[in-house]
Chain A
Amino acid sequence: KQEVTQIPAALSVPEGENLVLNCSFTDSAIYNLQWFRQDPGKGLTSLLLIQSSQREQTSGRLNASLDKSSGRSTLYIAASQPGDSATYLCAVGDYKLSFGAGTTVTVRA
């Protein structure tokens, strides 16, 4: 069974600082890895999807890397803003996703 772990569970940074969020998974035979954003009491917003054959994906200030051999992915958010405050979830799988518990980020103005 795939286990997904996200460290740290919570993170608080001043505005402008770069964010580094970590995700690890136990089964390296993954299909895709996705990063989502979840605001309190809301659904999920897909941020980046990395297919198993890819090493990274970028979108604006966001960059996600994937190292299947070590079972790790890292989400980088450059020049953080208060609007980046949310919980970030990592998930692996094809359609049936296994999620981590998330990292709750607070960006202080």
Chain B
Amino acid sequence: GAVVSQHPSRVICKSGTSVKIECRSLDFQATTMFWYRQFPKQSLMLMATSNEGSKATYEQGVEKDKFLINHASLTLSTLTVTSAHPEDSSFYICSAIRTSGSGPASDTQYFGPGTRLTVL
């Protein structure tokens, strides 16, 4: 079945540094990927929609200059947390849409395993 991978699975960094998280669709092409963030004991919150070949669309309240998203190919989207601070520590999960060609009702969304970011 379709698999979405994320790298790294966990990362610890110092405050003020930048961290890049990769999301890959391993056996299908994904023109659209999504990035979510999950704080402990809370629900997943959609951060942005990553579109291949165009700018990402950010949800209200998400700083686009802080969370840089690049979807340079049909199988890879990256999320870069710039100048990370302890409050950015969270679990980041991506998802990718596998389109069936028969319309949205037949498309499938696959989630990656997540990346645990800890900012010291």
Which of B49, B105, B116 has the most chain A CB atoms inside 10 A of its CB? B105
Q: Are A97 and B105 interface neighbours, CB within 8 A?
A: no
Q: Are A96 and B93 interface neighbours, CB within 8 A?
A: no
Contact A44 B43, CB 8 Å, known A94-B104, A95-B32: no
Q: How far is the CA of A94 from the CA of B36 in the complex (A)?
A: 15
Which of A4, A96, A100, A101 has the most chain B CB atoms inside 10 A of its CB? A96
Q: How far is the CA of A40 from the CA of B45 in the complex (A)?
A: 17
Q: How far is the CA of A39 from the CA of B113 in the complex (A)?
A: 10
The main secondary structure of chain B at its interface with chain A is: strand
Report the tally of A-B residue pairs with Cβ distances under 8 A: 48
Q: How far is the CA of A22 from the CA of B23 in the complex (A)?
A: 31
Q: Are A96 and B49 interface neighbours, CB within 8 A?
A: yes
Distance in Å from the Cβ of B26 to the closest Cβ of chain A?
Answer: 14
Q: Are A101 and B113 interface neighbours, CB within 8 A?
A: no
Residues of B within 8 A of A (CB): 6, 32, 34, 36, 41-46, 49, 91, 93, 97, 104-105, 107, 109, 111-114, 116
Known: A43-B113, A95-B49, A96-B46; 12 extra A-B contacts, CB below 8 A, are A42-B114, A43-B93, A44-B93, A89-B43, A95-B34, A95-B109, A96-B34, A97-B44, A97-B46, A99-B44, A100-B43, A101-B42
